[in-house]
């Protein structure tokens, strides 16, 4: 199992643009992939994800995480960056673990908690879409649909052609879809 690639979506289902992660996973699972690529919806809580990864130590060499995250950036755009792995103070990590136990689904919580427990692969790329509409309901807004398609195309390019991303750790770069 060494050297596998994990493609993971994180988000809420049926919350318009916040559903990017689960929808990307569903769409990518229907496509043809080479051996060694695992596509998972990791929207079920960071502690369970940590346990799942602990059962597969060093199984993944690379991971791609996809989610919609509200950060006050221009909406409907795709942002991608290499996860730098910097952890907040222990008190904040504990607070995030508490949120995770209560069912909060958050890409930030997942990455921080997984980093804290040292279960992330050596290379982690993050793709975030800044949502436009975060209300309950199906479907994406047009800009988020375009950004979602761009994220899927970029992941396929990176995985199928075994390319390495050029972004610097922790520096989100915006990309127009």
pLDDT tens column, 2-48: 579 999 999 999 999 999 999 999 999 999 999 999 999 999 889 99
Distance CA 174, CA 145 (A): 16
pLDDT of residue 81: 95
Token pair for 28? 């990518």
Q: Does 34 reside within a domain?
A: no
Distance CA 177, CA 171 (A): 19
Distance CA 107, CA 65 (A): 8
Number of domains, the chain = 1
Q: Does 170 reside within a domain?
A: yes
Q: Does 19 reside within a domain?
A: no
69-108 as b/e: b if 16+ CB within 10 A? beeeeebbbbbbbbbebeeeeeeebeebbebbeeeebbbb
Q: Provide the CATH number for the domain around residue 94.
A: 3.40.50
pLDDT of residue 162: 73
Q: Does 144 reside within a domain?
A: yes
Q: Does 161 reside within a domain?
A: yes
Residue 121 has pLDDT above 90, yes or no: yes
pLDDT of residue 28: 97
Q: Does 1 reside within a domain?
A: no
Model confidence pLDDT, tens digit, residues 128-144: 999 999 999 999 999 99
Q: Does 121 reside within a domain?
A: yes
Residue 124: domain span: 42-175
Q: Does 20 reside within a domain?
A: no
- pTM given for the model: 0.89
Residue 165 has pLDDT above 90, yes or no: no
Residue 155 has pLDDT above 70, yes or no: yes
Three-state SS for 177? coil
Distance CA 31, CA 37 (A): 11
Give which of 49, 64, 46 is closest to 121, Cα–Cα: 64
pLDDT of residue 107: 96
Instruction: Give Rg (Cα) of the chain.
Output: 15
pLDDT of residue 32: 95
């Amino acid at each position: 199992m060494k050297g596998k690639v994990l493609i993971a979506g994180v988000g809420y289902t049926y919350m318009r643009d916040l559903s990017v992660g689960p929808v990307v996973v569903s769409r990518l699972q229907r496509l043809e992939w080479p051996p060694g690529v695992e596509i998972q919806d990791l929207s079920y809580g960071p502690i369970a994800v940590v346990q799942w990864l602990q059962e597969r130590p060093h199984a993944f060499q690379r991971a791609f995480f996809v989610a919609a995250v509200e950060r006050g950036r221009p909406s409907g755009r795709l942002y991608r960056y290499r996860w730098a792995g910097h952890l907040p103070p222990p008190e904040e990590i504990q607070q995030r673990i508490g949120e995770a136990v209560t069912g909060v689904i958050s890409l930030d919580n997942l990455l921080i908690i997984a980093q804290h427990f040292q279960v992330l692969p050596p290379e982690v790329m993050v793709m975030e879409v800044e949502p436009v509409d975060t209300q309950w309901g199906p479907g994406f807004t047009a800009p988020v649909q375009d950004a979602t398609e761009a994220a899927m195309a970029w992941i396929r390019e990176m995985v199928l052609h075994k390319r390495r991303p050029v972004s610097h750790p922790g520096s989100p770069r915006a990309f127009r879809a």
